[in-house]
Structure 1
């Protein structure tokens, strides 16, 4: 048997062998899945009521990871982020989901049930109820963000533990896919200044 006929026979065997095809398919799927989850998007579920009414417990959503490579996060974005240093010090390991309220360089204050950014009250149609606490005024450092839960009085957020560095942001939550009766975008109301 010649060298070329051995190669042809070996290549035909791998093409006709269902186990080899299955292994190749599984390996390809794993590589694609890892690449998509790492660089493009991933599914997340909501474990708490801190984002009510926008997100309910057990809602499922897609977090996209591309847009912040081309633009800065903006006020109103619902983001998923890894624990900050202060949260890690409290032994938090799971990612958080909150809404960006304050941007780098801005001053945020919460008083009399309203949120003020650089002295201007922002409109917040999406919150569960007005905050019953005071916060600030606090100036946000460069490359960091102030985040609050939409369920202001039941959210462990920036008014407790500080700001979120940009490098901790995983991505932007943009669409809910479960439950089906709440399927759709998380951004239906224009609510922000600037």
Structure 2
């Protein structure tokens, strides 16, 4: 009898043990991915319609803003500032970044468009029939903060609703990540790219 056969008999493999080890490793990897890289987010309201519908589920990149700040046009998940008075059931919001630190965001120009650093936004993504904003504002976003708005402008408690508190802006360090894709329901699978209109926005100054 060969040594290989003897060793195989002395040290038989335990299939249940191997499966358990693989399961534990898989759970740990999944937990690590969720904590540090990608997380799922459930859309709890209609404030981002038609881009995001009630009960949609999106994937959120949690690592990207460790290397850079949020950019104009991106859809972000964030913990609302204390001054926004969010209740315990609303720990995180999801909105679109309209302005970043140093930007001047104004509503509205003669054509009723929001402008960023004088550049008018062609907001084809907002809810059909909504105006870009029913409230006038003129905000210069402080450094290290962002100005956010929901795509369903008539149904979104966003930066406009909190202008008295730090100009309605959100600290960058309260942003959990960037929503980059809808994954559920499968019939709505799509990526969440930056609308082309933001490409023409100049930096302030």
User: TM over 0.5, yes or no?
Assistant: yes
Q: Shift of the alpha carbon at 1:111?
A: 2.9
8 A contact 1:111–1:133 mirrored in 2 = no
Q: For residue 159 of structure 2, what is the aligned residue in structure 1?
A: 158
Aligned mates of 2:107, 2:183 — CA distance in 1: 33
Residues 29 and 130 from structure 1, CA distance in 2 versus in 1: closer, same or farther, beyond 3 angstroms? Answer: same
Q: CA deviation at 1:107?
A: 1.6
Aligned length: 183
CA distance 1:90–1:77, shift in 2 (3 Å): closer
2:14 match: 16
Matched, 1:145 2:150: no
- Residues 188 and 170 from structure 1, CA distance in 2 versus in 1: closer, same or farther, beyond 3 angstroms? closer
Gaps of 5+ in 2: 1-6, 163-167
Question: Deviations along 1:162-186, whole A, 9 cap, x unmatched?
Answer: 1110101111001111122221112
SS in 1 for 2:54: coil
Between the aligned partners of 1:132 and 1:106, the Cα distance in structure 2 is 18
- 1:48-78, Cα deviation, whole Å (9 max, x unpaired): 0000010000111100122222232111000
1:103 counterpart residue number: 100
Q: Paired residue for 2:87?
A: 91
Asked if structure 2 preserves the Cα contact closer than 8 Å seen for 1:109 and 1:134, the reply is no
Structure 2 length-normalised TM: 0.79
1:71-86 equivalences under 5 Å are 71-86=68-83
Matches within 5 A, 1:1-194: 12=11, 16=14, 18=16, 20-87=17-84, 89-92=85-88, 93-111=90-108, 113-128=112-127, 129-161=130-162, 162-187=168-193, 189-192=195-198, 193-194=201-202
1:35 to 1:168, Cα distance in 2 relative to 1, 3 A: same
SS at match of 1:153: helix
CA distance in 1, matches of 2:197, 2:174: 25
Map Cα deviations across residues 134-158 of structure 1 (whole Å, 9 max, x no partner). Answer: 2321111110000000001100111
Distance 1:178 1:160, change over 3 A: same
On the 8 A contact 2:80/2:86 being kept in 1, the answer is no
| Match of residue 165 from structure 2 | none
Mapped to 1, the partners of 2:48 and 2:116 lie a distance apart of 20
Report the aligned-residue RMSD.
2.3
Matched residue SS, 1:43:
strand
